[in-house]
Structure 1
Amino acid sequence: MNQKANEAAVRSDFEQANLQHDVDEKLFKEGIGSDHVRNLSRVKEEQLAIRLKLETERTAVAADSAKARLAAQQAKIDEQKALYQLKRSQVDALHVRAGIHGVLQLVPVDVGQHVTPGTNLARVADPKKLKAEIKIAETQAKDVTPGQIAAIDTRNGVVNGHVSRIDPSVVNGTVTVDVTIDDPLPLGARPDLSVDGTVTLENLKDVLFVGRPVHGQPDSTIGIFKIIDDGSEAVRVNVKLGRSSVNTIEIVQGLKVGDKVILSDMSAWDNFDRIRLK
């Protein structure tokens, strides 16, 4: 502001000197004024013109300098705003929020406890959207594929579902299979509830089958004791097995409908083809 005031004062002096020089020049031409006065007014006008030019340049430099200072201050303000937003986001991040709507089940940490990144701070579950995890023996998991029909017994009703995921790893001899529930959940269904699950691998019609023997493997031939003579004796017969489930196995050859067999471990009588039952 001071520089603009200086420029305005010099401009005013220059304009006055310019007018005075015009008057002196006119009087000199009319023979009234002297040449000396005319020259003095001309020199004063020229000096003030130079001063006005310098003051104008100083005003422009001051304006550019002010803009630069304002830009620097604005940059500092923007930097502080960004820092504030960062700190605020870090504070907001301290408030743990679940990514779903549900019910808080478990908080495994205590207030004030120091935890490492990735630590489970809480467990939230949606009781309306549950899945079943069933454990299947690793020897039978090879036949399970995504999309197969499954039935889940919740102890308060059986609901239908389908296999949605098969864990690639084996833990304690079992494979975890995730089943997505397709039916409405029965009353009492809640997270961590113990359930029984059955996966339908294949639907076979008109198949002869028995309970699964102790040592019976699919697509193999084994010796089984068949009960005869009203249950007083049993003879060994060779039976060809087919496909199997958890509790039953297909009989391809060696037995007929109505035959009774011994499914328990009879390895102690491997050297005998006929035994008497008591």
Structure 2
Amino acid sequence: MDIVRTPQKSYKKPALIAGGVTLLAAVTLALTRLDPAMPTVDRATVLIDTVQRGDVVREVRGPGTLVPEQIRWITAQASARVERLHVESGQKVGSGELLLELSNPDLQIQTMQAEQQVRQAEIDLINLRTNLRSAILTQEGTVASTRTQWVSSTQEARAADSLVRLGLVPAFEAANRKASAEEFTTRLRVEQERLALMRAAIDSQIAVQASRVTQLAAIAQNQQARLRSLQVRAPDGGVLQELTLQLGQWVPEGTALAKVVQPGRLKAVLRIPESQAKDVQLGQTASVDTRNGLVTGRVIRKDPSAQGGSVTIDVALEGPLPAGAVPDLSVDGTIVIDKLSNVLYAGRPALSVGSGNAALFKLEADGRTAVRVPVVLGRSSVNTIEIVNGLSQGDRIILSDLGSNANAERIRIK
């Protein structure tokens, strides 16, 4: 007789599954607690420098151009038409040399009219002097005649007064003679005052007309000068530039016709970044690279305002100019600002904009990893910057821009 056997239950498989889940959870937790992988950069792509202690010369640098120290613009004094060109742009000219000829018939007519007005005013002045002198002479004759009548009437009045007392002349006759004497006394005083007024007014009337003559003469001289300016001449000797006029071209008044420069007297006009230009002062020494030699100079002017992120600095060149130094030549200038003694310094980081707090990567002793450390930067130069705090002498730092890795705490260098 067969015996039925009941199979026993196995508990091994569920135990294995539970153990696997526990192990997976433990591994996941361990992985989440691991630090993220360090970014890696190639050593050949970064610039590494060592912090040093010593003296540093602070400099600022900027591009610029050579420009003449003296530029004399020639402008049209009157609207006119170009009739003849005697020289071309780029030629050397002497002082007073004829450059071009212009024409304007209306200006010639205006000049003749102005001269005619001056001559008419001079004639009017002569006539005024004659008429005033004649009027004074006439008034002097009137005063003399009145004085004679006054003397005669006064004597008759005295005689009549004496005869009245003797009874030889009636009283009313003596009264008439006395009244006549008083009348001529008043008339003499009036005529004398009139003569004095005429003499006092003659100078002012002549002065008014004389000032009119002077004014018209000045206008005529200005018209003559404008007419002469149609013969355009070089005000100074030098090289003629920017003469681009054509025959028959109409030139409005005030238009720049050309300019005369002296190529042997040049200065450098540099454009220094506004973040560095604050330390530039007049009189500081400079060096200008013309790509064909270095020329020493000195700062003579600083623009009070910034344009396009830079400040214009003028540098007077003190040394001899190298061959090929011509106006509008592109140059590079370096200005010495200050000298720092016994300071910590290193190469200027790529992203440094000046003094203040910054973060740099310092290489560890193995040279394979770099850690991000806060530092305080001080005064800067073209290629170097002062280290105020955060680094020590001998520390090696990365100066290059690390891009997306700049915010990492540590990086690996291979």
Q: Secondary structure at the match of 2:226?
A: helix
The whole-number CA distance in structure 1 between the counterparts of 2:381 and 2:254 is 41
Change (3 A) 1:243 1:80: closer
Q: Secondary structure at the match of 1:183?
A: coil
Deviating more after overlay: 128-137 vs 215-224: 215-224
Q: Secondary structure at the match of 1:205?
A: strand
State whether residues 151 and 199 of structure 1, in contact with CA within 8 Å, keep that contact through their aligned partners in structure 2. Answer: yes
**2:271 aligned partner:** 135
Superimposed CA distance per residue, residues 96-155 of structure 1 (whole angstroms, 9 cap, x where no aligned partner): 344432111322443433344443321322111100011111121111121111110111
Change (3 A) 1:235 1:129: same
Would you say 1:238 and 2:374 are equivalent positions?
A: yes
**Matched letter for residue 319 of structure 2:** D
Change (3 A) 1:268 1:100: same
Deviating more after overlay: 194-203 vs 240-249: 240-249
Could you tell me which of 227, 232, 241 is aligned with 1:105? 241
Would you say 1:149 and 2:285 are equivalent positions?
A: yes
**1:93 aligned partner:** 229
Superimposed CA distance per residue, residues 11-42 of structure 1 (whole angstroms, 9 cap, x where no aligned partner): xxxxxxxxxxxxxxxxxxxxxxxxxxxxxxxx
Q: What is the identity percentage for the equivalent residue pairs of Structure 1 and Structure 2?
A: 51
The whole-number CA distance in structure 1 between the counterparts of 2:268 and 2:306 is 18
**1:250 aligned partner:** 386
State whether residues 275 and 354 of structure 2, in contact with CA within 8 Å, keep that contact through their aligned partners in structure 1. Answer: no
**1:167 aligned partner:** 303
Change (3 A) 1:105 1:240: same
Superimposed CA distance per residue, residues 43-96 of structure 1 (whole angstroms, 9 cap, x where no aligned partner): xxxxxxxxxxxxxxxxxxxxxxxxxxxxxxxx9xx9999887554422222233
The whole-number CA distance in structure 2 between the counterparts of 1:230 and 1:101 is 70
Superimposed CA distance per residue, residues 216-235 of structure 1 (whole angstroms, 9 cap, x where no aligned partner): 34331222101234531111
State whether residues 100 and 126 of structure 1, in contact with CA within 8 Å, keep that contact through their aligned partners in structure 2. Answer: no
Q: Secondary structure at the match of 1:89?
A: helix
The whole-number CA distance in structure 1 between the counterparts of 2:403 and 2:261 is 50
Q: RMSD between aligned alpha carbons?
A: 2.9
Q: Which runs of structure 2 are paired with 1:212-231 in the superposition (5 Å)?
A: 212-231=348-367
Superimposed CA distance per residue, residues 224-274 of structure 1 (whole angstroms, 9 cap, x where no aligned partner): 101234531111222221101233211122223433211223463455322
Change (3 A) 1:118 1:249: farther
The whole-number CA distance in structure 2 between the counterparts of 1:164 and 1:265 is 36
**1:205 aligned partner:** 341
- Using CA pairs under 8 Å that are at least 6 residues apart, name the structure with larger relative contact order, 1 or 2: 2
**1:42 aligned partner:** none
Could you tell me which of 241, 246, 260 is aligned with 1:124? 260
Change (3 A) 1:248 1:88: same
> How many residues are treated as equivalent by the alignment?
203
Change (3 A) 1:211 1:114: farther
Superimposed CA distance per residue, residues 145-173 of structure 1 (whole angstroms, 9 cap, x where no aligned partner): 21111110111111111111112332221
**1:194 aligned partner:** 330
The whole-number CA distance in structure 2 between the counterparts of 1:118 and 1:86 is 15
The whole-number CA distance in structure 2 between the counterparts of 1:219 and 1:137 is 15
* Gapped regions of structure 2 (runs ≥ 5): 1-209
* Gapped regions of structure 1 (runs ≥ 5): 1-74
**2:410 aligned partner:** 274
Change (3 A) 1:233 1:209: same
